[in-house]
């Protein structure tokens, strides 16, 4: 019996090492990873710069406890606030993206005195918690995707926060209309609510910009980050604007977590930001994303009866197939060819490391063409 509790379906293959865009199993088969692990290894697996920082930091300071400050946590906060454009804001660092989203929502509810959470219906909040939301989900308002008329049906006087996720959509990669997001955000602010960007998946270059909300006229009061901030190491964070930071002391809000602001995770986060800057990976994400999108568009033109839609922004791409059965066949046959992609319903998903090689994009699209030719 496998000693691991089966909480998520796993392939019957044992991964033993990884490097850059590749992972290797116990039989030394090399797989091209178009999912960056679980959308986290934006700089590639076992990145040498990150590894070097880890080796140095573990001999210096790993865990410092809640009672103290560290140079690492303060410097990471400064760097993230600068990238977010949140001058004079503040940050806290946690373990998982879900925890960061949960804490961000809790802060918004505390500061506004309201309980309702607004999100686009396709958006993912977190694996648990939802800001201490009621068990019956009565505090959660789902506005239909790109439905302008639905905005007027919502009592915005009750909304604490509009949580905007710019792209993931439960792994289906759906990008809301820019004008729709602008109107929802404007109305929420007009009625005294706060704006929160869930950047756990879209952040740190994934969409060809530092953060996914930069594709929109959206100016967040709160931002949650995760996944890529640690390049596979478990660290997440919540950033708040100067306006929220000024209000914060009045509410005597307390939150304690054992590994809050741990120095090791923060040192990794600092190096992630510096590596993205040094290697110009935002530009690389945009350029490679454009090339990737063109290759997928060529496939769609060739197999119009099988490939029904392409969605892309930087290196966050998706391809819809005509049926879930076809998507399942493609997903599994790509695994047999040692190519790892995402799969949900009719959607095949691509979120490779920003360091992906053009030739690996070609290998993937050529393999897709060969497999679909047999379906057609």
Split into its structural domains, the chain has a count of: 2
124 pLDDT band, cuts 50/70/90, is confident
Cβ(364)–Cβ(34) below 8 Å: yes
Q: Which of 254, 278, 302 is the last residue of a domain?
A: 278
Same domain, 98 and 230: yes
Q: Can you tell me the distance from the alpha carbon of 167 to that of 145, in angstroms, rounded to the nearest whole number?
A: 12
Tens digits of residue pLDDT in 299-338: 999 999 999 999 999 999 999 999 999 999 999 999 999 9
Radius of gyration of the chain (CA): 21
For residue 157, the Cα-to-chain-centroid distance in whole angstroms is: 29
Residue at 8 is within a domain: no
Q: Report DSSP letters for 145-213, one per residue.
A: TT-GGGGGGS-GGGEEEEEE--S-TTTT-----HHHHHHHHHHHHHTT-EEEEE-TTTTTTTTSSSSGG
Same domain, 209 and 67: yes
Q: Other CB atoms closer than 10 Å to residue 25's CB: what's the count?
A: 15
The residue among 278, 313, 330 that closes a domain is: 278
Cα separation, 119 vs 201, in Å, equals 16
pLDDT band for position 251 (cuts 50, 70, 90): confident
Average confidence score pLDDT of the chain: 95
Residues 166 and 299 grouped into a single domain: no
Residue 2, in any domain of the structure: no
Domain at 26, CATH number: 3.90.1150.10
Q: Is residue 157 part of a domain?
A: yes
Same domain, 160 and 309: no
| Same domain membership, residue 318 and residue 224 | no
- Same domain (yes/no): 274, 285: no
Query: At how many degrees (to 10) do helices 358-375 and 281-302 cross?
Result: 20
Residues 196-250: pLDDT tens digits? Answer: 999 999 999 999 999 999 999 999 999 999 999 999 999 999 999 999 999 988 8
* Residue finishing a domain among 258, 278, 298: 278
Same domain as 246, residue 297: no
Q: What CATH number is associated with residue 122? A: 3.40.640.10
134 in any annotated domain: yes
263 and 284 co-located in one domain: no
The answer as to whether 288 is a domain residue is: yes
| Residue 376 clears pLDDT 90, i.e. is over it | no
pLDDT tier at 56 (50, 70, 90 boundaries)? very high
Residue 364 falls inside a structural domain: yes
- For residue 75, being part of any structural domain is answered with yes
Residues 69 and 98 in one domain: yes
Query: Residue 35: is its pLDDT beyond 80?
Result: yes
Same domain, yes or no, for 114 and 161? Answer: yes
Query: In this structure, are 209 and 171 located in the same domain?
Result: yes
Q: For residue 363, what are the domain limits? A: 15-33+280-375
Is residue 6 one of the residues assigned to a domain? no
| Residues 6 or more apart whose Cβ sits within 8 Å of residue 87 | 81, 242
What is each CA distance from 122 to 146, 260, 327, in whole angstroms?
Answer: 10, 30, 20
On whether both 145 and 95 belong to a single domain, the answer is yes
């Amino acid at each position: 019996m496998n000693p691991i509790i089966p909480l998520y379906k796993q392939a019957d293959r044992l991964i033993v090492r990884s490097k850059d865009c590749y992972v290797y199993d116990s039989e030394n088969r090399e797989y091209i990873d178009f999912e960056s692990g679980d959308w986290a290894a934006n700089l590639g697996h076992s990145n040498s710069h990150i590894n070097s920082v880890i080796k140095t930091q573990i001999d210096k300071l790993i865990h410092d406890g809640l009672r103290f400050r560290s140079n690492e946590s303060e410097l990471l906060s400064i760097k993230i606030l600068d990238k977010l454009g949140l001058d004079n804001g503040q940050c806290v660092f946690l373990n998982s993206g879900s925890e960061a989203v949960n804490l961000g929502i809790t802060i918004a509810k505390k500061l506004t005195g309201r309980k309702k959470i607004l999100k686009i219906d396709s958006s993912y909040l977190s694996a648990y918690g939802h800001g201490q939301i009621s068990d019956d989900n009565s505090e959660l308002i789902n506005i239909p995707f790109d439905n302008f008329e639905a905005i007027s049906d919502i009592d915005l006087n009750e909304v604490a926060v509009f949580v905007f996720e710019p792209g993931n959509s439960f792994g289906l990669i759906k990008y809301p209309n820019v004008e729709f997001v602008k109107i929802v955000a404007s109305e929420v602010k007009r009625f005294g609510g706060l704006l929160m960007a869930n950047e756990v998946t879209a952040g740190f270059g994934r969409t060809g910009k530092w953060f996914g909300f930069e594709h929109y006229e959206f100016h967040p009061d709160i931002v949650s980050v995760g996944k890529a901030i640690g390049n596979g190491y478990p660290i997440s964070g919540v950033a708040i604007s100067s306006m929220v930071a000024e209000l914060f002391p009045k509410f005597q809000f307390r939150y304690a977590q054992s590994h809050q602001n741990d120095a090791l995770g923060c040192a990794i986060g600092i190096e992630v930001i510096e590596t993205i800057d040094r290697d110009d990976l935002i530009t690389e994400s945009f350029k490679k994303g454009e090339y990737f999108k063109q290759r997928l568009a060529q496939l769609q033109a060739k197999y119009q009866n099988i490939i029904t839609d392409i969605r892309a922004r930087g290196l966050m791409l998706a391809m819809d197939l005509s049926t879930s059965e076809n998507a399942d066949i493609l997903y599994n046959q790509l695994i047999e060819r040692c190519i790892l992609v995402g799969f949900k319903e009719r959607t095949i998903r691509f979120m490779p490391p920003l360091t992906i090689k053009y030739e690996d994009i070609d290998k993937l699209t050529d393999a897709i063409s060969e497999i679909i030719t047999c379906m057609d």
